[in-house]
Structure 1
Amino acid sequence: MAVSIRDVAQLAGVSVGTVSNVLNRPDEVSQDSVDRVTRAIDELGYVRNDAARKLRAGVSTTVGFVVLDGQNPFYTDVVRGAEDEATKHSIAILYGNTDEDPKRERMYIDLFQEQQVRGLLIAPYGDVTPRLQSLRAGGIPAVLVDRFSGDGRFSSVSVDSVAGGRLAVEHLIQTGRRRVAFVGGPFDIRQVNDRLAGARAAADNAGSHVDLEVIATDAMTVDEGAAAGHRILRRPPGDWPDALFAANDLLALGLLQAMVVDGRADVPGDIAIIGFDDIPFAAAAAVPLSSIRQPSRMIGRTALRILLEEAADPDSIPRQTVFPPELVVRASTGR
């Protein structure tokens, strides 16, 4: 079996990206790393694949796509949009799900760099700017997806999550809710913080008669939403919030599930619920779920077009594409 660059990285105790830098840009790597990688190459008898090495951004027929949560139908639709656009250009999408895990995120970035993809689309978990700068220096452009590039160093395609959070809570207030809880987390996900910021802005604008509490979750899943719902229902009914704004629809569906199974709290009579993303399951829920809609497929198509343009012209100026959110009202918040 041929020795791969990953075998070299494992023996040397470094990342695949470091091995690639030693082979292609040794001046950017510490001497210690160069020595360790060189020893591993000698020990394993690694021979670099010149055909693969010569694949450059404008030649490769693949694009890498790293998403935050592959179980979320929102990201499934975003990837589908990118695939629809890629097909027009005879491009294949290589897909990786980080499951909100920074280690898996690094692994996929390293893997796509090793494969010399034409470019990388990424819905990142944390701050990946240094890593993406390294990719770009090696001829692989990157576009942020579902994340606004605040410093403008990379192109991004996103929805205004702050405006979406404000829309959700303004709607709850307009339906007469006064004790609103934001349910979401972890808070090192930028989108969660932005949606909470919008919720707080709406509550602050409404004045002192509206209270906003935060109920943190460890993930953005149905199970985490259900667990948060059961925690709420363990309180005395007089301490229940009268509205819940979930950071995404999966959390909102879990909250709704908890309410329906428990049976003590009527939705929306006692507690209104609104989510974010407007995934297909939202309209089909036992109580159809109000949500903040994102144009998921359009996000994917737009991101892929921008990525291919930047691969063709590395000197192009990064651009920020921000779509407006849309309030979709259904039975879970009343009409």
Structure 2
Amino acid sequence: MSNENLVASVSVKDVAAAAGVSIGTVSNVLNQPERVLPATVARVRAAIAELGYVRNDAARQLRAGRSSSIGLIALDLANPFFAAVAKGAQERAAEAGLFVLVAASEDTRDREMAYLDHFSQQRVVGVLVTPASGDPDALKRLEAAGVRIVLVDRDAGDAPLNSVSVDDEEGGYLAVSHLLSIGRRRVVFVGGPSTLPQVLDRFRGARRAASEVADSSLEHLETAELTVLAGREAAAHILERDAADRPDAVFCANDLVAVGMLQGLAILGGVRVPDDIALVGYDDIDFATATVVPLTSVRQPAVEIGRAAVELVLEQGEQPQPRQVRFTPELIIRESSRATLSI
């Protein structure tokens, strides 16, 4: 018989027999060791180690009706913003004695639904999710089945769901207002796909800022993804234009796109940033300060968003009505939109 089969065959009854105690005492050692004499705890733990006993958490969760885990479904874990959200969620969950199971939908509804189904089967305490679509029906069904749902980086709108979001329209407004305030007038918003609510909201804010300055213009250069490569490809489109027809400012829908834009313009295209083209990103990821020209960016408090989302899961038993938490973004000005530095 293999070691794996031996471990699987060891039961609480076997541990109790080896330690010379009752099954109830073993259970107390596993779940409430403070109720057992230290010498007995040591004897039971020695038996567990000798026999190689592994507790069956799946069965324990089935009996309890819930697990000690929270599911988190992000759009893209390669994006540092979502990694920071997960960090905040893990911090707050750990404080409550819970764990976070992290998954990525890759902005695909089928994959999102598969993870939602899996987390439901695992009887997680709740699910934090940045939806891959605007359809809340599946999430509402999970809520009705007792799984606590919190939308992350997405406003719930009229849906009866908890949410933690950032005022992205205000963020877009801050970015373009800043570019206009330093004398830029031909602004291009780079990012997509336009089906993402965050992208639409940031563009709406940018458009509102541009409408307040009579001689300004704003165009939208849509990308298929919010990645560094997409930013470089967008930069190539700008470089194809005659110099007189190029924008004098670019606002990117996130920092990854902005990093690619900076690489394409300044390093590959010989464009001076910010002298020729000023550049602003969004999210204020850690890498924004380490680019060849430090990046001006609209900061989202990603860690705080993750913590707040877990907090909503924890309070739902006491707060039956859905609650929406919305953070205010902050513009962080660096060299990419200052006229004193060029490369």
Category of TM-score, reference length = shorter chain:
0.7 to 0.9
- Whether 2:152 is the aligned partner of 1:148: answer no
- Whether 2:255 is the aligned partner of 1:249: answer yes
Q: In the aligned structure 2, how far is the partner of 1:109 from the partner of 1:80? A: 20
> Which residues of 2 match residues 11-30 of structure 1 at below 5 A?
none
- Whether 2:335 is the aligned partner of 1:331: answer yes
- Whether 2:69 is the aligned partner of 1:62: answer yes
Shift of 1:102: 1.8
Q: C-alpha deviations, 1:202-244, integer Å up to 9, x for none?
A: 011222x110000000000001011111111011111111111
Tell me if structure 2 keeps the 8 A contact 1:55–1:116.
no
Counterpart in 2 of 1:198?
A: 205
Tell me if structure 2 keeps the 8 A contact 1:152–1:319.
no
- Whether 2:104 is the aligned partner of 1:97: answer yes
Read off the aligned partner of 2:244 and give its amino acid letter: G
Q: In the aligned structure 2, how far is the partner of 1:55 from the partner of 1:212? A: 56
Q: In the aligned structure 2, how far is the partner of 1:263 from the partner of 1:212? A: 22
Going from structure 1 to structure 2, the CA distance change for 1:331 and 1:51 (only over 3 Å counts) comes to: same
Read off the aligned partner of 1:210 and give its amino acid letter: S
Read off the aligned partner of 1:249 and give its amino acid letter: D
> Which residues of 2 match residues 75-114 of structure 1 at below 5 A?
75-114=82-121
Tell me if structure 1 keeps the 8 A contact 2:187–2:249.
yes
Counterpart in 2 of 1:277?
A: 283
Structure with greater Cα Rg: 2
Counterpart in 2 of 1:302?
A: 308
Counterpart in 2 of 1:178?
A: 185
Shift of 1:297: 0.6
Tell me if structure 2 keeps the 8 A contact 1:249–1:275.
yes
- Whether 2:164 is the aligned partner of 1:157: answer yes
Q: C-alpha deviations, 1:264-305, integer Å up to 9, x for none?
A: 311001111100000000011000000000111111101101
- TM-score normalised to structure 2 length: 0.80
Counterpart in 2 of 1:290?
A: 296
Tell me if structure 2 keeps the 8 A contact 1:123–1:144.
yes
- TM-score normalised to structure 1 length: 0.81
Q: In the aligned structure 1, how far is the partner of 2:244 from the partner of 2:60? A: 69
Read off the aligned partner of 2:259 and give its amino acid letter: L
SS of 1:258's equivalent? helix
Q: In the aligned structure 1, how far is the partner of 2:269 from the partner of 2:149? A: 48
Q: In the aligned structure 1, how far is the partner of 2:256 from the partner of 2:288? A: 9
Q: 1:72 aligns with which of 72, 76, 79?
A: 79
Q: In the aligned structure 1, how far is the partner of 2:64 from the partner of 2:190? A: 45
Moved beyond 2 Å, runs of 4+: 49-56, 260-264
Q: C-alpha deviations, 1:51-93, integer Å up to 9, x for none?
A: 655553xx32000000011111111111100100000111110
Counterpart in 2 of 1:240?
A: 246
Q: In the aligned structure 1, how far is the partner of 2:68 from the partner of 2:134? A: 27
Going from structure 1 to structure 2, the CA distance change for 1:187 and 1:54 (only over 3 Å counts) comes to: farther
Q: In the aligned structure 2, how far is the partner of 1:272 from the partner of 1:211? A: 15
| Residues matched between the structures, number | 282
SS of 2:282's equivalent? coil
Q: In the aligned structure 2, how far is the partner of 1:185 from the partner of 1:243? A: 18
Q: Work out the percentage of aligned pairs sharing the same amino acid.
A: 43
Shift of 1:128: 3.8
Q: Determine which structure has greater relative contact order: mean sequence separation of CA pairs < 8 Å that are 6+ residues apart, divided by chain length.
A: 1
Q: C-alpha deviations, 1:96-136, integer Å up to 9, x for none?
A: 11122222111111111121111000111212410111101
Q: In the aligned structure 2, how far is the partner of 1:165 from the partner of 1:195? A: 4
> Which residues of 2 match residues 24-43 of structure 1 at below 5 A?
none
Shift of 1:251: 0.3
Counterpart in 2 of 1:319?
A: 323
Q: In the aligned structure 2, how far is the partner of 1:75 from the partner of 1:55? A: 31
